[in-house]
Amino acid sequence: MQDQTTSPRAVLALAGALGFTGVALGAFGAHALKARLSPELLEVYKTGVFYHLVHAVVLLAVNALWGRLRAPRLTAGLFVAGVIIFSGSLYTLAISGVRVWGAVTPFGGLAFLAGWLTLLLPTRR
């Protein structure tokens, strides 16, 4: 029996969850935070939403190409980690104003980069 936490079905569900939360957080930023945040912090928040949504779509591609990718579980995991760390730290920084969260953001960026690098591995035939 296949572990359902790392199956294509689970990755599809993660893509849906990331897409949903990305749109919800984008709407929250556009409506609830627009009047509360400085333009600089609103841009930080928008950057988090952008990378969040882009990588939700990328997870759909990982799901669609599952059987051809060399390391689909690793790829998906790195992209999800990237969203949590990169976008999450930007959301936290923007809402709290605590700039130290900016020191966490590059670790999420590294997860994104590592996920993209896994796509350079030779594919399955």
Cα–Cα dist 71/62, whole Å: 10
Q: What percent of the chain is modeled with pLDDT above 70?
A: 95
Contacts of 98 (CB under 8 A, 6+ apart): 92
The per-residue pLDDT for range 46-90, each reduced to its tens digit, is 999 999 999 999 999 999 999 999 999 999 999 999 999 999 999
pLDDT higher than 50, residue 2:
no
**Please, which pLDDT band fits residue 122 given cuts at 50, 70 and 90?**
confident
| Domain parsing of the chain, residue ranges | 8-118
Q: What is the pLDDT of residue 124?
A: 72
pLDDT in the model for residue 125: 64
Section 101-106 average pLDDT: 98
What is the model's pTM? 0.92
